């Protein structure tokens, strides 16, 4: 939905007002107080009630629980309910009153966050639902009631920042949710170039011949089983006043069947999400450009699908990578690291101050952290600290796992410089250790988003499907570089 912020929304023009209500601290508003009392509303986090009122006709109270301040998860859940209720009621214009601030944040920050979340609250990937097409619900226009003390100029800035981030997150979710028969490497590259053009970012797309010329052995090996051409996408955002240069790499496996080491049928359809790292990179750069952040950013995205065929790469094969190192394939399902290796080498050559990669890399990371945290791997303690702090602030959380050299033992090969899989134990770590062999940048971080990039089912905070994990934390990190 489209979100504006206004200190005095015209209630006559609004179909439905939503008010967040905490258990202990009631909103400081007489008419709301009267409704709360009349309805016997307690404010518990799972409580909500829609009441008939005068102006506007409907008011919905949404409970946000006990806390003195709002937590990010509570606010997200509350705003997601707003979206759901508004959709059900076919509301066209709604207003949302948030009389609290996030813990550790001021009213301005809370409003900025709320606006970007609310913009996504009615999101649904419905591009291919033909049944409900004719009764397609019209877009909802939402107004957040502005907190006191913010001037017009500040409000407009908050509004446009939130819209920039929300647009980028939408791009990421649409890319991630698209099925792999349509979101091929070729299409992904086209979309990347389209988005780049829209926000004034340079895009270069390399095809098979150029990828061969660059000797990207990992990307070519994985692509051998496919009928789709591989793509290597480079995005360059270079604002004039840039102080720092950050390179971003994203895993762009448009479908991961496992290849010859084929995956079981159950949930294999979820492997259309295996390009969510790539989508995150595109979205982060889109956001940075829209926000005009003074940071130079290079994005590098290797893309192919991973399929079995007569020409597919096989266990036992030895592959020479772009940086000259050799890899013995023991499992063709460990394909992400093969394509990322070349991209990390490519990105290292651009000599960035920081290098960050995003990948739905391992099931082992999901076993370790579930769906609440992205796995963070880095040897740079300062970078770890900053990224974790940014993630906590914006509710896109990271949890650090080790990257010790001892784990290198797991990927030792007798026939080549290393194997592409270290087996099950510590699988997320051995994958990260593998990637490290291809990085030449002292400040590198690897984000394993396998458990966070998509929601397998609806949660109290979001719909099923791509979540854009990694985007908020990285945009906040990029902003912190220029603060
Ligand atoms: N794309 C998968 C990882 C994945 C699993 C993402 C579940 C999201 C949910 C990756 O390419 C993969 O298959 N990894 C293997 C590595 C193993 C063969 C060493 C895995 O995790 O099983
Ligand atoms: Mn795989
Ligand atoms: Zn994969």
DSSP string, 163-193: HHHHHHHHHHHHHHHS-TTTS-HHHHHHHHH
How close is the Cα of 229 to the center of ligand 2, in Å? 18
Reported as a single tens digit per residue, the pLDDT across 216-249 is 999 999 999 999 999 999 999 999 999 999 999 9
pLDDT of residue 134 exceeding 60: no
Atom of ligand 1 nearest to the CA of 263: 13
Q: Which fold has domain 170-480?
A: Aminopeptidase (3.40.630)
Q: Name the residue with the closest Cα to ligand 1, atom 5.
A: 363
State the chain's mean pLDDT as an integer. Answer: 96
Q: Which of 263, 314, 325, 400 is catalytic?
A: 263
pLDDT at 26: 85
How close is the Cα of 155 to the center of ligand 1, in Å? 44
Q: What is the mean pLDDT of residues 57-64?
A: 97
How close is the Cα of 335 to the center of ligand 1, in Å? 8
pLDDT at 136: 66
Cα-Cα-Cα-Cα torsion 259, 260, 264, 268, nearest 10 degrees, comes to 10
pLDDT at 20: 97
Q: What is the mean pLDDT of residues 298-324?
A: 98
Q: Name the residue with the closest Cα to ligand 1, atom 3.
A: 362
pLDDT at 201: 98
Atom of ligand 1 nearest to the CA of 306: 11
Q: Among 334, 362, 364, 430, which is best to mutate for testing ligand 1, by the most ligand atoms less than 8 A from CB?
A: 362
Reported as a single tens digit per residue, the pLDDT across 187-196 is 999 999 999 9
Reported as a single tens digit per residue, the pLDDT across 197-223 is 999 999 999 999 999 999 999 999 999
| Distance of alpha carbon 131 from alpha carbon 232, whole angstroms | 37
**Cβ atoms of residues 333 and 312 within 8 Å:** no
Helix, strand, or coil (residue 247): strand
Atom of ligand 1 nearest to the CA of 273: 8
Q: What is the mean pLDDT of residues 463-482?
A: 97
How close is the Cα of 333 to the center of ligand 2, in Å? 4
**Would residue 152 show up in a list of annotated catalytic residues for this protein?**
no
**Cβ atoms of residues 48 and 80 within 8 Å:** no
Q: Among 261, 306, 363, 375, which is best to mutate for testing ligand 1, by the most ligand atoms less than 8 A from CB?
A: 363
**Cβ atoms of residues 451 and 369 within 8 Å:** yes
Give residue 483's pLDDT band: very low, low, confident or very high (50, 70, 90). Answer: confident
How close is the Cα of 368 to the center of ligand 1, in Å? 13
pLDDT of residue 423 exceeding 80: yes
pLDDT of residue 438 exceeding 80: yes
Q: What is the mean pLDDT of residues 402-426?
A: 98
Reported as a single tens digit per residue, the pLDDT across 35-45 is 999 999 999 99
Q: Which of 76, 231, 337, 461 is catalytic?
A: 337
pLDDT at 167: 98
| Distance of alpha carbon 466 from alpha carbon 479, whole angstroms | 24
Within 6 A (CB) of ligand 1 lie 256, 274, 331, 333-336, 360-364, 366, 421, 427, 450
Give the HSE-up count for residue 310: Cα atoms under 13 Å, Cβ half-sphere.
0
**Would residue 337 show up in a list of annotated catalytic residues for this protein?**
yes
pLDDT at 137: 67
| Distance of alpha carbon 112 from alpha carbon 162, whole angstroms | 6
What stretches of 100-151 show up as alpha helix (H) in DSSP? 107-118
pLDDT of residue 132 exceeding 80: no
The CATH architecture to which 2-146 belongs is 3-Layer(aba) Sandwich (3.40)
CATH 3.40.220.10, the chain: domain bounds: 2-146
pLDDT of residue 281 exceeding 70: yes
Q: Among 258, 277, 333, 357, which is best to mutate for testing ligand 1, by the most ligand atoms less than 8 A from CB?
A: 333
pLDDT of residue 11 exceeding 90: no
pLDDT at 50: 97
Q: Which ligand is nearest to the CA of 252?
A: 3
Tell me the torsion sign for CA atoms 69, 72, 73, 75: positive
pLDDT at 135: 64
CATH 3.40.630.10, the chain: domain bounds: 170-480
Atom of ligand 1 nearest to the CA of 331: 18
How close is the Cα of 263 to the center of ligand 2, in Å? 8
What is the full DSSP assignment across 294-347?
A: SEEEEEEEEEEEE---TTS--TT-EEE-TTS-EEE-S-TT--HHHHHHHHHHHH
Tell the burial category of 279 from Cβ atoms under 10 Å away from its Cβ (0-12, 13-18, 19+): buried
Atom of ligand 1 nearest to the CA of 256: 1
Q: Which ligand is nearest to the CA of 450?
A: 1
| Distance of alpha carbon 373 from alpha carbon 384, whole angstroms | 14
pLDDT at 416: 98
**Cβ atoms of residues 374 and 447 within 8 Å:** yes
Q: Name the residue with the closest Cα to ligand 1, atom 17.
A: 334
Q: What is the mean pLDDT of residues 86-112?
A: 96
How close is the Cα of 209 to the center of ligand 3, in Å? 24
Tokens of 107: 């009213």
pLDDT at 138: 81
Q: Name the residue with the closest Cα to ligand 1, atom 8.
A: 450
Atom of ligand 1 nearest to the CA of 365: 21
């Amino acid at each position: 939905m489209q979100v504006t912020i206004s200190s005095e929304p015209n209630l006559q023009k609004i179909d439905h007002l939503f008010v967040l209500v905490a258990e202990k601290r009631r909103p400081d508003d007489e008419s709301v107080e009267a409704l709360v009392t009349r309805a016997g509303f307690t404010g518990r986090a799972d409580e909500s009630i829609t009441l008939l009122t005068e102006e506007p006709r409907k008011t919905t109270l949404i409970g946000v629980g006990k806390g003195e301040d709002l937590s990010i998860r509570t606010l997200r859940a509350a705003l997601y309910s707003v979206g759901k209720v508004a959709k059900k009621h076919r509301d066209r214009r709604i207003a949302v009153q948030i009389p609290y601030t996030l813990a550790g944040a001021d009213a301005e920050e809370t409003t900025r966050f709320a606006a970007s979340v609310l913009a996504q609250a009615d999101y649904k990937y419905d591009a291919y639902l033909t049944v409900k097409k004719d009764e397609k619900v019209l877009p909802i226009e939402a107004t957040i009631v502005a907190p006191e003390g913010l001037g017009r100029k500040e409000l407009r800035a908050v509004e446009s920042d939130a819209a920039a981030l929300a647009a980028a997150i939408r791009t990421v979710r649409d890319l991630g949710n698209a099925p792999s028969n349509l979101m091929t490497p070729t299409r992904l590259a086209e979309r990347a170039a389209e988005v780049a053009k829209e926000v004034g970012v340079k895009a270069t797309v390399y095809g098979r011949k150029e990828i061969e010329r660059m000797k990207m052995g990992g990307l070519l090996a994985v692509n051998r089983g496919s009928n789709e051409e591989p793509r290597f996408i480079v995005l360059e955002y270079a604002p004039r006043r840039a102080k720092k240069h950050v390179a971003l790499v994203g895993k762009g496996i448009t479908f991961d069947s496992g290849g010859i080491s084929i995956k079981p049928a159950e949930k294999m359809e979820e492997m259309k999400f295996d390009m969510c790292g790539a989508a995150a990179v595109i979205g982060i750069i889109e956001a940075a450009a829209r926000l005009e952040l003074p940071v130079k950013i290079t994005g590098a995205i290797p893309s192919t699908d991973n399929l079995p065929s007569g020409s597919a790469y096989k266990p036992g094969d030895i592959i020479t990578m772009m940086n000259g190192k050799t890899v013995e394939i023991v499992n063709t399902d460990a394909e992400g690291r093969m394509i990322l290796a070349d991209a990390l080498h490519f990105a290292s050559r651009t000599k960035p101050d920081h290098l960050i990669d995003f990948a739905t890399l391992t099931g082992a990371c999901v076993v370790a952290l579930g769906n609440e945290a992205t796995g963070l791997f880095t040897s740079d303690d300062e970078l770890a600290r900053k990224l974790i702090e940014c993630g906590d602030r914006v509710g896109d959380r990271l949890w650090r796992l080790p990257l010790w050299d001892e784990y290198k033992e797991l990927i030792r090969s007798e026939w080549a410089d290393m194997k592409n899989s270290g087996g099950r134990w510590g699988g997320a770590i051995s994958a990260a250790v593998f990637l490290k062999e291809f990085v030449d940048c002292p400040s590198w971080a690897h984000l394993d988003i396998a458990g966070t990039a998509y929601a397998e089912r609806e949660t109290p905070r979001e719909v099923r499907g791509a979540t854009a994990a990694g985007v908020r934390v990285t945009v906040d990190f990029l902003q912190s570089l220029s603060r």
